[in-house]
Amino acid sequence: MSSQPRLVEVRRNVLKQNDVVARALRQRFRESEIFVVSLVSSPGSGKTMLLERTLAQLRQRYRVAALVGDLATENDAERLARSQAPVKQITTGTLCHLEAAMIERALDGWETGPLDFLFIENVGNLVCPSSYDLGENLRFVLLSVTEGEDKPLKYPTIFNSADVAVVTKMDLAAAVEFDRTALERNIRAVRPGMEIFPVSAKTGEGMAEYLGFLRSRQAELRATMLSAD
């Protein structure tokens, strides 16, 4: 018998467990006809502010709810609850990102009634959330005009993992000499063809286009489900 170690092929995905839960969530959302959008960005990019305005606007015609992830405090949930939409905080303790199992746990026993939209605000972090599928239909990556036009080049993985980019705090663009062309070029260098929405949740600039996009994507999903019935 040889004393050499024996090499055995395994080929197993380390994040399989998360992917399995995410797939089950996606199926569950589909069956309940909920359009799910997650938001990722660095801390302070304006996820909560954008979500506050999004919930308030969409609530007029749709049934909306939000899950918000943070390491600690219920502050964001309290802010978002002002919109009167059902909101639940997920406190992760020391964990820097949300995982599919946390979404599953948060949904269990949460009485929201039927929903059209569910928003998931991830923990403010441009690195770790990129590895975890949460079962969402669309992942939005946010960045504010104050963060620098080269941010997509510094964090290509998260930008590539997202479906749509939202450029926030456009009301500050002139003050920080924001270069929109450069930012759009950098975003599309790491994620070719990515849709980009420049907005100011404060002044309302660009919000109509951004909300219109959400509404049309949700309508598309409804249409594909109706035709599948």
Partner 1 sequence: MHELSIAINIIDLVEEEAERLGKRRVCAIHLKLGQFSGVVKEALLNSYELACEQTSLRGTRLVIEEVPIAIYCATCGARRPVHSTQFLCCAECGTPAFEIIEGKEIEVSALELHP
Both tokens assigned to 18? 């998360």
Q: Which of 63-66's residues contact partners 24+ apart within 8 Å by CB, and which partners?
A: 63/112, 63/113, 63/114, 63/115, 63/116, 63/117, 64/115, 64/116, 64/117, 64/118, 64/119, 65/112, 65/115, 65/117, 65/118, 65/119, 66/118, 66/119, 66/120, 66/121
Task: Measure the CA–CA gap between 169 and 185, rounded to whole angstroms.
Answer: 19
Q: Taking CB under 8 A as the rule, does residue 131 contact partner 1?
A: yes
- For tokens 């909920």, name the residue: 34
| Residues 78-117 contacting partner 1, CB under 8 A | 95-97, 99
Q: Taking CB under 8 A as the rule, does residue 7 contact partner 1?
A: yes
Contacts of 120 (CB under 8 A, 6+ apart): 36, 37, 38, 39, 66, 67, 68, 69, 98, 103, 134, 136
Q: Taking CB under 8 A as the rule, does residue 9 contact partner 1?
A: yes
Identified binder of partner 1 from the candidate list 32, 73, 75, 157, rule CB under 8 A:
157
Q: Which is nearer to partner 1, 5 or 113 (CB)?
A: 5
Identified binder of partner 1 from the candidate list 49, 56, 101, 128, rule CB under 8 A:
128
Identified binder of partner 1 from the candidate list 81, 161, 202, 206, rule CB under 8 A:
161
Q: Which is nearer to partner 1, 101 or 172 (CB)?
A: 101
Q: Taking CB under 8 A as the rule, does residue 191 contact partner 1?
A: yes
Which region among 1-9, 36-44, 72-80, 110-118 touches partner 1 (by CB under 8 A)?
Answer: 1-9
Identified binder of partner 1 from the candidate list 127, 175, 219, 223, rule CB under 8 A:
127
Residues that bind partner 1 (CB under 8 A): 1-17, 95-97, 99, 127-128, 130-131, 153, 156-158, 160-161, 188-193
